[in-house]
Amino acid sequence: MSIKSLGKQSLIYGAGHILARLVTFILLPVYTNILTQSDFGIISLVYTFLGFMTVILHYGLDASLLKHYVPAEPKEKKSILTNAYFSFVITSLIFSVGLILFRHHVSFFLFGAALPKIVMMVAAILFFDVLWAIHVMILRAEEKPIAFVSMSLLNVCLTLGLNIYFVVYLHEGILGVVKSNLVTSGLLFIGSFPVLFSRISLASLSKAKWKKMMKFGMPFLPAGIFSMILELSDRYILNYLTDLETVGLYNAGYKLGMFMLLVAMGFNMGWQPYFLKKSPDDTGYISKITTAVLFLMGFFWFLLALWTKDLVRLQFGNYSFFGEEYWAAVNIVPFVAGAYVFHGMYLLQLPGVYLKEKPSWIALVRGLGAISNIGLNFMLIPIYGIMGAALATCISFFLMAVFLFFINKQIFPINYEWKNIIVIFITALGFYFLSINVELSFLQKLLMSLSFPVILLLLGVVRIKDLKTIAN
C-alpha cells in the first residue's frame, strides 16, 4: 500500500471512529432533558461495564489476530480467523450466560439496585459487541475502509433512530436506552456476519495455532485494561462513594469534555502512519508538529471552556441542550477537556516507543495512569465530589504524559520548542482565568475567541506551514 493510500485510509478510519464517538454528543440533549440524574447514572455504569468487559473478552487475541492475519496467505488466513473467532464465541457466550444466570446478584453489584432485565440485555449486547468488533476488524485488515465507515454510519443512524423511538416516543427511559443498544448491536452483528461467512472453516481449527496466537496476544491485555481503568473507573468509584445521581451529573459533564478526545483521535489517526514511515534517527519534524498540535488543542480547549455554559443553556423549543438539573456539570468540563489535552501530549510522544521498538513501556505508562487515577479518585471525591473525579482524571493523564517524556528523554530525545509551548499554555490559561473572573458579553467572548489564535500567530509561536503539515 502506498503512503498516499495509507493516508486516505487512515482518514476514513478516523472518520469512522469519530462518528461512533460523536453520537454520544448528539444524544446528550435527549438524555439530559428526559432522563433523571439517577437514570443517567445507571446508563453511565452500563456503558462503563460494557467497555471494561469488551476489552477483557478480547483478551489481547484481537491484536494477535490482526498481526497474524494481515501478512498470511489466503488459506492460512482462514485458519487464523477461525481459531480466533471460535475462541471469542465460546468465551463471550460463557460469560454472557453467566451474567444471565446470576443477573440478580450482578445487578446489585453493578448498580446497587434490582435491575435484572437490564443485566440480561447487557449480556446479549456484550456477546454481539465482542463478535461484531471482529467483523469490522477484518474489514480493516483487508483494506476496505469504505465498508468500515459504512458500518460506523449504520451504527450512528441506528443508535440515534432507536433512541429517539424508545426514549422520546415510547418514554421507556433507561430501558429504552439499553434496548436501543441491544437492537443496534444485534443488527450490526447480523449485517456484518457475511464478512466472516466465507472466511472461516471448522476444519481449520487447531489447538497449537490458537496457543501460538494467545502467546502473542496476552501481553496486550494489561495495556487495554489499564486504559479502561483510566478512562472509566471514576464512575464506579463515584457510585461507591456517593450515589447514582452524582454519577449521572458527572457523566453529562464528562461527555462534553470528551470533545477534546475527538480532536486527539482525529490527529492520531494520521499521526501514527506519518511517524511510522520515518527513520528512528529523524526527530526534527516532531518538535514543530508538537508545537502546532498543542496550539490547536489549547485553542479548542479554551473555546470549550469559554462557551460551555452558553451551549448547555441553548433553547430548542421547550428544551435546552442540557436539562436544567444537569447545568452544574459544566464546572468539570475544563478539567475533563484538559485531561484529553494531556492525552494529546502523550500521543505526540509515541514515536519514541514505536520507532525504538519499546512497546512494553506503553503498558507501564498506562498502568501508572490507572493506579494514580484510582488513588486520586478515592482521595479527591470525598472532598470535592464530581470536581474531585475530574481533577483525578486530569492529573492522571498529565502524569502519563510526563512519565513518557522522561522515558523518551533516555531513548528518543526531542529538542522541543519549550518557549513556544510555555507561551501557548500561559495564553490559554490566562484567557480562561480572565473569562471566569470577568463578566463578558457575547461580543466580548467572540472577540476573545478570535484573538487567541491571532495573537499566537503574530508572535510567531506557531507557523502556518506547520498547521498545513498537520492538515495534510
> Which of 218, 251, 279 is the endpoint of a domain?
218
Instruction: Select from 218, 238, 255 the last residue of a domain.
Output: 218
Q: How does pLDDT run across 325-363, given as a tens digit for each residue?
A: 899 999 999 999 999 999 999 988 888 777 776 767 888
DSSP per residue, 141-153:
HTT-HHHHHHHHH
Looking at the structure, tell me whether residues 232 and 184 fall in a common domain: no
Q: Are residues 163 and 258 in the same domain?
A: no
Highest-pLDDT range among 33-42, 72-81, 315-324: 33-42
Quickly count helices (H) and strands (E) in the chain. Answer: 21, 2
279 and 327 both lie in a single domain = yes
pLDDT of residue 74: 78
Cβ–Cβ < 8 Å for 95, 126:
yes
CB burial readout 194-232, b (16+ within 10 A) else e: ebbeebbeeebeeeebbeebbeebeebbbbbbbbbbbbb
3-state secondary structure of 329: helix
Count CB atoms within 10 A of the CB of residue 465: 9
Between 446 and 467, the higher pLDDT residue? 446
27 with 76, same domain?
Answer: yes
Q: Is the pLDDT of residue 16 over 70?
A: no
pTM: 0.83
Number of domains in the chain: 2
Q: How far is CA 151 from the centre of its chain?
A: 18
* Residue 319, C-alpha cell as written in the block: 428544551
pLDDT at 71 over 50: yes
pLDDT of residue 418: 92
153, three cell numbers: 454510519
Cβ of 77: how many Cβ atoms within 10 Å? 20
State pLDDT tens for residues 248-266.
Answer: 999 999 989 988 888 887 7
What was the pLDDT predicted at 17? 64
Q: Is pLDDT at 269 greater than 70 in this prediction?
A: no
Q: What is the rounded average pLDDT for all residues in the chain?
A: 86
**Whether pLDDT at 461 is above 90:** no
Are 235 and 113 found together in one domain? Answer: no
Contact 107, 116 (CB under 8 A): yes
Higher pLDDT, 87 or 412: 87
For residue 237, the tally of other CB atoms under 10 A from its CB is 19
24, 150: one domain: yes
Alpha helices for 102-219 (secondary structure H): 103-111, 116-141, 145-163, 173-192, 194-197, 207-217
Query: Do 345 and 402 share a domain, yes or no?
Result: yes
Q: Summarize pLDDT for 302-330 with one digit per residue, the tens.
A: 999 999 999 888 887 777 788 888 999 99
Q: Are residues 212 and 226 in the same domain?
A: no
7 has a pLDDT exceeding 60: no
Between CA 406 and CA 16, with CA 368 as vertex, the angle to 5 degrees is 95
Looking at residue 470, its pLDDT comes to: 61
- What pairs with residue 315 in β-bridges? 320
Do 55 and 201 lie in a common domain? Answer: yes
Whether residues 151 and 198 share a domain: the answer is yes
pLDDT-wise least confident of 119-128, 271-280, 358-367: 271-280
In this predicted structure, what is the pLDDT of residue 15? 64
Between 18 and 241, whose confidence is greater?
241
Question: In whole angstroms, what is the distance from residue 10 CA to residue 5 CA?
Answer: 9
Distance from C-alpha of 258 to C-alpha of 251, rounded to nearest angstrom: 10
Q: Which of 21-25, 335-339, 390-394 has the lowest mean pLDDT?
A: 21-25
Residues 6+ apart with CB under 8 A from 80: 65, 68, 69, 72, 209, 213
- Is the predicted pLDDT of residue 273 greater than 80, yes or no? no
Inter-residue contact 67 to 216 (CB < 8 Å)? yes
- Residue 40's closest CA among 30, 49, 51, 50? 30
Domain boundary among 197, 218, 239: 218
pLDDT at residue 13 tops 70: no
Position 379 scores a pLDDT of 96
One domain, residues 404 and 259: yes
Residue type, 287: S
364 falls in which pLDDT band (50, 70, 90)? Answer: confident
On the question of pLDDT at 231 being above 50, the answer is yes
Contact 344, 293 (CB under 8 A): yes
The letter for the amino acid at 281 is: D
Look up the domain containing 56 and give its range: 1-218
Q: Are residues 184 and 317 in the same domain?
A: no
Amino acid at 214: M
User: Which residues are within 8 A (CB) of 300 and not within 5 positions of it... i.e. 6 or more apart?
Assistant: 259, 260, 263
Q: Given this model, what pLDDT does residue 341 score?
A: 95
Pick the residue with more confidence: 316 or 410? 410
Residue 276 has pLDDT above 50, yes or no: yes
Residue 45 has pLDDT above 50, yes or no: yes
Q: What is the mean pLDDT of residues 74-103?
A: 92
CB 335 within 8 A of CB 354: no
Instruction: Give the three-class secondary structure for 319.
Output: strand
* Cα 324 to Cα 24, 28, 327, distances in angstroms: 19, 13, 5
